[in-house]
Every structure is written in C-alpha cells, then in structure tokens.
Chains A and B, each alone.
Chain A
C-alpha cells in the first residue's frame, strides 16, 4: 500500500534521513522505533508532504506522491496525527473533529456521512462526546490525544500516521490509547504507521517494526523478532535486562 524507496530528507544542510526504504501492506500496523533524533517524525512528515524528500520515491496505492503537497496527500487517504497532538486549542472539540473532515465537505458524500462519522468518533471516544462544546485547549493531555486521533480519523484515511501518541501521558491513559488503536484495527482495518518511544507497547500492538538510528534503518522484522532481538532489548526495552546492560 505504501512504499518508501531510498528516501533522503534534509533540513537545510542537515540530512535527517539517509536512504530510508520501508513498506506497509494493507491492514498492517507497522511501528518505527528509535532514539530521539533518529528521524522517526521526519519519515512521517516526508510521507505527509510537510517536509518533502530531497530524493527518493514515495509510492502510495501505486501512485508517486513524493512531491505532493499535504492537502493532496490527505485527499488520497493519508492522515497524520502530529507529534505533541497539536489540537486546535481555541476551537471546540466538535470544531476540531469537523476540521478533520475539511476536504470531505467538498466531495460528493455530503454532510450526513460526515455527521455519521462524528457519531462514530463519539462512540469510540465517549469522553469527547461529553466535552463536545468545550475548547480543546482546556482538556487533559490524554483527552487531547484522543481528539487528535479522532480528528485524523474524520478524514476517513486508508493510512493513519501516528506520531508518539503516548508522549507525556500517564501509563493508564497510554493503555487506553493503545486499546483504542487495537479496536480500530479489528473494526475498520485501517493501516497504521506508528512512531513510538514506548517501544514495548508499540511492538506489542504492531505486526512489524523498523528500528532507526541517526536517519538510517538498522533493523527490521516482525514485532516478535524485534522484541526478542538482544540489541533492541538492550537499547529500547531496557527493563529487566540488567545482565545485558552490565556485560
């Protein structure tokens, strides 16, 4: 469904991604793990067109999309949940969700379809329904994260790009978010590319994963393989691996 081939992305003169190649099949959940500055967010931003690649190919549903602007990408069915949630704080919860469907208002499906999806989000996240008229900026971090996910889903994406949904949230809230992602997969079969610091939770949810270091893919494999990999254990899972640590 999505394939990146030899992607190179730069911020000014700094090269953030070096020959990144990866792929996602339909219905898969794939996770990118790696330390800060490894290039995880940059990969998502390259796919969504926010920071276009300097070289390389992005192929989505057999279409070359590397040079597409973000609104075209959304139209094709890729929706991003940006890092740090980035909900529109001065807007109400409902306005935020409706903004997620921005491009759909012009399509032929009509307002009733959008309305039905709004209700679907409220069943998925009952908290949002309670707070539909509240300003997004006044909600807790976890609620904002749910809103950010709901907002992205309102675009009816085929592929969801999730950037660190667990960032800065309490463990119980993180559990809740991952529970919803699991539910999403079983119910709607949406494909997810998940960037996470919380490697353990991510690998538990995902089918496959890529490990990044300083802009390169250093490992790839099924989630189980990665979870058992000694290097991944040492660097990203940490806990209970004292014997490796102190070798």
Chain B
C-alpha cells in the first residue's frame, strides 16, 4: 500500500508541475481533455477491467452528467457546485435501476443492452429540443467559480479538472486494493466461485456499474463547465467505443493504465496532424500494432519494451 502511495504522490507531482513545462499554450487545452478522459476511462475500467462487465453505453452517463449540469445552470441558473452533485446522484440512481436488470446479462448480451442504453440516451439529447437545444447544442453554461477564482482559462481549468482526476485516481487505487477490489476481480474470474465465498455478485456488479456511471457523470459536469457549450455529438456511440479503446489500450485493470490510454488517444491525433490526410490511417495502424504487441496494454507493454531493449543491448555487448 505504501508503494501505491508513493506512485500516487509521484504522479500528482508530475501532474501539478506539467503547466510549468508547457507554459500555457494550446497543449494545456488538450491536457484538460486528458484529465476528463482519464476520469472516464477509470470509471469504465472499474467496471470492465476489475469486474469484467462490458459497457458500450458509458458515453451516455458522461452526457447525462454534462446535460444535467448544463441545463440546471444555463437554463435554470442553479449554482454549478449544487448542480454537479445532484447530476451525479440522478445518474447514480438511473444507473442503479437500469443496472439491476441488465447486469444479469453476460458477455455479448450485456454489450448489446448497454449499447442500446447509450443510443437511447443519445436520442433523448437530440430530441428533447426544448430542454437540451437538440442537435445544435446547449450554450451559455457558466464556468465554475471558487473563492473568487473563475476557472475560465486553460491553466485554471487544468488545475480544476486534474484535482478531480487525482481524487478519482486515489479513490480507484484504494478501491482496487481493498476487499471490494478483490471481490470484483473474483467475480471477474468466476462468478459462481465468488458467490459461494459469500460475495453477493449480482449486487456488487450493480454497485460498481453505478459507481462507474457516477464518475462519468462528474467528468461530464466538469466537461460542461470547462467547455461552456455541449452538443449531443460528443456523447454518442462513437465516444463509448473510444472510451473502451482507451481502457483496453491503456491496460485492463490498471488505474494508471487508464490515464495512459486516455493520454495516448487524446494526444496522438494532435501529433498526427503533421501527417495531414494520412493521420487516420496511421492512427488506426498504431492502435492495431499496440493491441497485437502489447496485449496487456500500455501499462505493461512499455516496461516490457524497455526491458527488452536493455536485454538486447546487454546481449550485444557480451557478444
């Protein structure tokens, strides 16, 4: 557990120091997104990587958080700090009630059910035009404010979003190493065996689904308040798949892996701009290569790669 704490402190220091290195600039804006996506990927990873339950609808919970916060603050002039927990609570209740029946499903069937859920939520965003503004989006969402500071610049948003992201990381690491984390991995491996050990697998799955949705909702609220404009297109099926890719590429069942996945999938397109029209092809090819050669995700693939390089050098030196 001490090692985990050290890891967390080192990571926090890196996060807090990053703006000094980048000195504002365009990349800061991208790093705000990395923070939001890290929260989302961790949320999904708790469900997928630890408990072994797939969801193709998590963009929906992200969107619900964003829209609940957005509508309450922009249309009804609520205090954003009040809207955010309320949104999370509503999303939590919805996820719990939906999770009860659909988490009885397994594998492909669960994938289909959550896919349907995501699509339904997306349609609601699009069609309830009076409330959400429909396809043209919802604007005029206020920035968050705290003690006289308005989080309206990239650097300020960065610290805001990453404070939340770090809390989520700390929470997730603790959860993963607790008795509950053990039970989640047990359910993942063999549900029957977990049940005869006294784990209420059905309830535990619904609980982790709910928790995962709540984390996504928080990320959604932050997204709404840092962007100040939201539109349904950000919360569609494509984004659910992108989230899933982040989790898998980063490393299933690893909290820091989720950060790596989120960072890579957000930064890579920015760097690939240089390749102009070919960026999408290179992006796809890189993802394929990573899945083929790093089946454990970046979090296990990168250390393995360096070990291989070091070994190779030593081998060459000896010969």
Contacts and interface: CB of A to CB of B under 8 A. Distances in A.
Interface of A: 48, 50, 69-71, 74-75, 79-80, 82, 86-91, 95, 98-100, 102-103, 105, 151-152, 155
Contact of A91 (B185, B192, B195, B196): B185
A210 B210 CA distance: 46
B149 interface: no
Given A50-B195, A86-B192, A99 B186 contact: yes
Nearest to B190: A86
B198 A155 contact: yes
A95 to B, nearest CB: 5
Contacts of B195: 50, 70-71
B179 A71 contact: no
Nearest to B199: A102
A74 B189 contact: no
Interface in B201-216: none
Contacts of B196: 48, 50, 70, 74, 79-80, 82
A50 B198 CA distance: 11
Given A88-B186, A91-B185, A95-B182, A102 B193 contact: no
A100 B183 CA distance: 10
A50 B195 CA distance: 8
B193 A86 contact: yes
B43 to A, nearest CB: 21
Interface residues of B, number: 17
B17 interface: no
B192 A151 contact: no
A128 B50 CA distance: 25
Contacts of B193: 82, 86-88
Interface of B: 179, 182-183, 185-186, 188-190, 192-200
**Nearest 5 A/B pairs, CB to CB:** A74-B198, A86-B193, A103-B198, A70-B195, A80-B196
Contacts of A86: 190, 192-193
Contact of B197 (A74, A89, A90): A74
Contact of B198 (A71, A88, A89, A91): A71
B60 to A, nearest CB: 30
Contacts of A48: 196
A89 B199 contact: no
A100 B199 CA distance: 9
Nearest to B203: A71
A99 B192 CA distance: 13
A75 B186 CA distance: 18
Contacts of A71: 195, 198-200
Given A82-B192, A99-B182, A155-B198, 5 more contacts: A50-B192, A74-B198, A99-B183, A102-B198, A102-B199
